[in-house]
């Protein structure tokens, strides 16, 4: 479980404004949904790239804040998150490559949100139809005596051969431009840093762009594959482009 003990007191490098950040004792990355682009729905931890906006109007990364002390409590305010609608402004004004990457990562996930809603509606409708068909084929035929003896009614379990389809993923020109620019930066950074650096994110970006050969090359540089990497690798082989929800 995520737990906090006290606060860090920090100074923004842009104007010297003071803020507080939570002191995390333990971290819990549980969420109601996990997605291949890195989004976590209802996450117990902040689902962002550390991008914030100072009260002077400048954008700043948490890692660039200067820590000057800790305290149990403080009257100082937390530094605000950057609203999603201001991410293009942050990208345009980015003071460093790191800031541009953070803003573009957040913007990528934000622009995928409308598809997430389509995905949920599509999956819920298909699952409801599957369950209705199963219940029609497996009615409760217990006699009154069997009910009296508390014999259990047929219990629905999703048949293994049930359909699993997704709505079409058709990224807009804005989405494609952002993903293409982000992949260019990450590829250059990965080449400079060495094997596997940013490989999972690159593979997912290329996959969503339909650039499957590049996606395969990117994910092949990983030394090992966890659950997320294995799913992305399978989706690449199946030539699927949609951001995909999964259980973690």
Q: Specify the pLDDT at position 193.
A: 77
The DSSP letter of residue 198 is T
Q: Specify the pLDDT at position 44.
A: 81
Q: Specify the pLDDT at position 24.
A: 84
Q: Treating both helix axes as pointing N-terminal to C-terminal, what angle do 173-193 and 97-137 enclose, rounded to 10 degrees?
A: 120
pLDDT of 195 above 70: no
Q: Specify the pLDDT at position 2.
A: 63
Q: What's the mean pLDDT in 23-36?
A: 86
The predicted model scores a pTM of 0.90
% of the chain beyond a pLDDT of 70:
97
DSSP string, 40-100: EET-SS--S-SEEE-TTS-EEEGGGSEEEEEES--SSPBPPBPPGGGHHHHHHH-SSHHHH
pLDDT in tens, 134-148: 999 999 999 999 998
Q: What's the mean pLDDT in 41-63?
A: 93
Domain ranges of the chain: 1-133, 170-248
For the chain, what is the mean pLDDT? 93
Q: Specify the pLDDT at position 206.
A: 98
Q: What are phi and psi of 185, to 5 degrees?
A: -65, -45
pLDDT of 198 above 80: yes
């Amino acid at each position: 479980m995520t737990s906090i003990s006290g606060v860090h007191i920090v100074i923004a490098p842009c104007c010297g404004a003071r803020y507080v950040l939570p002191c995390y004792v333990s971290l819990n990355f549980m969420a109601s949904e996990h997605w291949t682009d890195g989004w976590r729905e209802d996450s117990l931890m902040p689902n962002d790239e550390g991008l914030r906006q100072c009260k002077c109007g400048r954008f700043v990364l948490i890692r660039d804040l200067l820590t000057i002390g800790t305290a149990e409590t403080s009257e100082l305010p937390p530094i605000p998150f950057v609203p999603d609608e201001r991410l293009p402004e942050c990208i345009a004004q980015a003071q460093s490559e790191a800031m541009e990457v953070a803003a573009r990562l957040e913007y990528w996930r934000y622009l995928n949100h409308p598809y997430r809603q389509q995905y949920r509606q599509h999956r819920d409708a298909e699952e409801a139809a599957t369950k209705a068909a199963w219940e029609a084929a497996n009615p409760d035929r217990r006699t009154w005596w069997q009910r009296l003896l508390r014999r259990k009614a047929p219990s629905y379990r999703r048949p293994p051969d049930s359909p699993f389809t997704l709505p079409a993923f058709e990224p807009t020109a804005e989405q494609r431009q952002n993903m293409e620019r982000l992949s260019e930066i990450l590829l250059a950074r990965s080449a400079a840093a060495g094997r596997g650096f940013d490989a999972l994110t690159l593979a997912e970006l290329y996959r969503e762009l339909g650039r499957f050969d590049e996606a395969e090359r990117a994910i092949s540089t990983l030394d090992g594959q966890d659950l997320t990497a294995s799913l992305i690798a399978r989706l690449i082989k199946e030539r699927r482009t949609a951001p995909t929800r999964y259980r973690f």
